[in-house]
Amino acid sequence: MQTRPFRVVGHTADIAVVVSGDSLKQLLENAALALYYLTIDKPLVGSIETRRVEIDSIDDAALLIDWLNELIYLLFVDRLACWDFEFDDIGDGGAVAHCHAARLSPDTRLKREIKAATYHTNLLSYSDGGLVARVVFDV
Amino acid sequence: MASLRKVDNFRWEMPLYYKPGMRVPGMVYASERMLDSILQDESLDQVANVAFLPGIVGRSMAMPDIHWGYGFPIGGVAATRVSDGVVSPGGVGYDINCGVRLLRTDLVREDLHGRLPALMERLFRNVPSGVGSQGRLKVAKGDIAGLLTEGARWAVRHGFGTSEDLEATEDGGELGGADPDAVSDRAMMRGLPQAGSLGSGNHFVEVQAITDIYDAAAASTMGITCVGQVLVLIHTGSRGLGHQVCTDYLKTMGRAVLKYGIALPDRQLACAPVESNEGRQYLAAMRCAANFAWCNRQHVAHWVRDAFQEVFGRSWEMLGMQQVYDVAHNIAKIEMHVVNGTAVSLCVHRKGATRAFPPGHGALCARYAAMGQPVLIPGDMGRYSYIAVGTARAMDETFGSTCHGAGRLLSRNAARSATRGGDVEQELRQRGIIVRTDDVPALAEESSQAYKDVADVVNVVHGAGLCRKVARAEPLGVVKG
């Protein structure tokens, strides 16, 4: 059985996940998976479209949070859930990605409202095996 | 890490050496028993981190409903000098002006006999609720600026409520200095379709009955006269508009921290000088979100009154459904306070904390001038809520602030592991409490065992003199977001 590249960890008020990835690109993809795991409980079915997302952050830790907040906006406002990503450029706090997304049907209920992904200290750490991030979502 | 110093049965001082870099000491309001649970998470470290903010005065404070947040703890209060201090969006949170509004009625518990199920059904239908709920209110493009600058008054101008409602609302339901140009198009897109909705999570409309009156004179001033009297408590905020304003400005503040060379122990505390362009822009946008929230609660209250009218066949005026008060518990305000004997203009951050101004304060309406500000403290949906009143002690000690609710005890995952939403619904029903929700499994996250006993919280702030208990009410029916 394939294991998820993230795990949900305890947080008193909100929801926290620990996400890992071999590279920054994979970390962003896996963080997106965690977001959709927390919010969508049905297979994605719907019209497909592609959105270009460009993020300019102060560093890679902020990039991860800004990336998730971009996906949260797409999900809760445009009702788009992205399932595949092509990155033109990534690193030094910036990323340009083409996000292939399914538009949720009007009757698709989301499991919970996520207000935002939040910043905190020691958000992102690097190791020989890649990157690990602990993300707290405000719900 | 150094330990806290017990000041008395309700106060624990966090000394400067608790964490090197603190500019002021901390103060935690809690009983000894509550402190055990507070020590279980990272919230005390967050109290220490807040003390690093430039321009902070007095103490970094935590109310007894403190729990682990992000940046500030929930239940945190911090005041910074306007002249050389900072404003931090993390000190307000994402749900800007999340708050509670209380309506009284002339009804008593017995009047609901046989009608409560129909009433709860009507409330559930009248007030849009749930994840991403869209509001009943359609805001024309030309009206957006008016809504964001006038807040509750905009709603009253459009026939939703009365001028008496505005008098019984913190700041009249309208924060000055709101500038719609400071609000991004994204925030507008995210929030405006949700105008006039409850949302999800811990938001609710609760029908309650008074169980105890501790201060008959203050209760009477609020229109609360007997045990069994029926009240309605509404808890919601600025929905997606506030969430996006916070998201937008945290990004701005992340850059401002570098620009102004501010050293912080936690990124979520990102901030800018109050009087900088970034600080002023954030406050202008935050005030728009605060006004949006007051407009939202004004509409929800209108639809609550409609539901009572439909079920009881009498006008809401005939039912005596006047507003007792409306308070914000996630907000930053510019207020005058006395610091070391001198009146100083401060930016008071209340994140999960309620304003509690004393008798005679100029911000209070005539009705409450001699009594002090009503303070509304909701508990969980299985126990009770409190009504209290502001004190001079709070003004002296906490910049006129007190607690905001019960405070979480269990994480959402732990709560779901401990019980099932269906069981919570059943247990409440057996006790005569009707719950209406679109999301029964999520009830587990809001069960009584997920929260502190709000009585413990209120007994601390009452004992510490930060507010004074007036009455207690228990739930009869709840619409959960």
CA distance A129 to chain B (A): 25
- Within 10 angstroms of residue B390's Cβ, the number of other Cβ atoms is 27
| Nearest residue of chain B to residue A75 (CA atoms) | B132
Q: pLDDT tens digits, residue range B186-242?
A: 999 999 999 999 998 899 999 999 999 999 999 999 999 999 999 999 999 999 999
> Counting one residue from A and one from B, how many pairs have CB atoms under 8 Å apart?
96
Collect all residues of chain A within an 8 Å Cβ-Cβ radius of residue B200. Answer: 112-113
Which of A41, A80, A119, A122 to probe the B interface (max B CBs under 10 A)? A119
B139 close to B155: Cβ distance less than 8 angstroms: no
> Which residue in B130, B201, B408 is closest to A12 by CB distance?
B408
In angstroms, the separation between the Cα of residue A85 and the nearest Cα of chain B is 22
Token pair of A8 as six digits = 């949900």
Instruction: Please indicate if any CB of chain A lies within 8 Å of the CB of B23.
Output: no
Tens-digit pLDDT profile for residues B413-442: 889 889 999 999 999 999 999 999 988 999
- Best B412, B439, B446 member to test A by mutation, with max A CBs in 10 Å, is B412
Q: Which of B341 and A44 is assigned the larger pLDDT?
A: B341
Residue B359 has pLDDT above 90, yes or no: yes
Residue type, A12: T
DSSP sequence for B310-349: HHHSS-TTTTT--EEEEEESEEEEEEEEEETTEEEEEEEE
| Chain B residues lying within 8 Å of A61, measured CB to CB | 267
What's the token pair of residue B35? 């402190």
Q: Touching check for A110 and chain B: CB below 8 Å?
A: yes
Which chain A residue's Cα is nearest to B96? A115
The pLDDT assigned to B409 comes to: 87
Residue of chain A whose Cα is closest to the Cα of B132: A113
Q: Are B109 and B209 in contact (CB under 8 A)?
A: yes
pLDDT of amino acid A45? 65
Tell me the CB-side half-sphere exposure of residue A21, using CA atoms within 13 A: 17
**Residue B439 CA to its chain's centroid (Å):** 23
Find the CB nearest B41 among A12, A69, A73.
A12
Here the tokens at position B421 are 């939403």
Flag whether residue A106 sits within 8 Å of chain B, measured between CB atoms.
Answer: no
ipTM: 0.92
pLDDT at B263 over 90: yes
The structure tokens listed for B146 are 């008016």
- Average pLDDT estimate for B94-119: 98
What is the C-alpha to C-alpha distance for residues B71 and B192, in angstroms, rounded to an integer? Answer: 27
Chain A residue with Cα closest to B416: A10
Contact between chains at B131 and A136 (C-beta distance less than 8 A): no
Q: For residue A112, which residues of chain B lie inside 8 Å, CB to CB?
A: 131, 200-201, 442
Dig out the tokens for B131 from the structure. 């994840």
Q: State which residue of chain B sits closest to A63, comparing Cα positions.
A: B251
Instruction: Flag whether residue B128 sits within 8 Å of chain A, measured between CB atoms.
Output: no
Using an 8 Å CB-CB cutoff, list chain B residues near A139: 201, 412
E-strand ranges in B352-446 read 354-355, 374-377, 385-390, 401-402, 434-436
Is B410 touching A (CB cutoff 8 A)? yes
Q: Which helix (H) or strand (E) holds A66?
A: helix A60-76
Q: Which residues of chain A have pLDDT under 50?
A: none
Say whether residue A138 is in contact with chain B using an 8 A CB cutoff: yes
Locus of tokens 């929800």: B300
B45 touches chain A (CB under 8 A): no
Residue of A53, A113, A122 to mutate for B, most B C-beta atoms under 10 A: A113
Alpha-carbon distance B47 to B39, whole Å? 12
Mean pLDDT calculated for residue range B243-252: 97
Query: Which residues, numbered 433 to 462 in chain B, qualify as contacts with chain A under a Cβ-Cβ cut-off of 8 Å?
Result: 438, 442
Percent of chain B with pLDDT over 90: 91
User: Residue B69 corresponds to which tokens in the numbers above?
Assistant: 């947040």
What b-and-e string marks burial along B447-471, b requiring 16 or more CB atoms within 10 Å of the CB? bbebbbbbbbbbbbbbbbbbbbbbb
A10–chain B Cβ distance below 8 A for any pair: yes
Phi, psi of A102 (to 5 degrees): -105, 135
Q: What confidence score (pLDDT) does residue B413 get?
A: 84
> CB neighbours (10 Å) of residue B61?
29
B243 close to A (CB below 8 A): yes
Which residues of B are identified as catalytic?
404
User: H helices of B410-468, where?
Assistant: 412-418, 421-430, 454-464
Tens of pLDDT, residue by residue over A41-66, are: 876 666 789 999 999 999 999 999 99
Mapping DSSP to helix (H, G, I), strand (E, B) and coil, where does residue B272 land? strand
pLDDT of residue B107: 98
Share of chain B above pLDDT 70, in %: 100
* pLDDT on residue B1: 42
The model carries a pTM of: 0.96
DSSP, collapsed to helix, strand or coil, labels residue B147 as helix
Cα distances from A75 to residues A32, A117, A138, B406, in angstroms, run 11, 13, 15, 31
Q: Which residues of A touch B258 (CB under 8 A)?
A: 58
Are B153 and B166 within 8 A, CB to CB?
yes
Q: How far is the alpha carbon of A32 from chain B, nearest alpha carbon, in Å?
A: 17
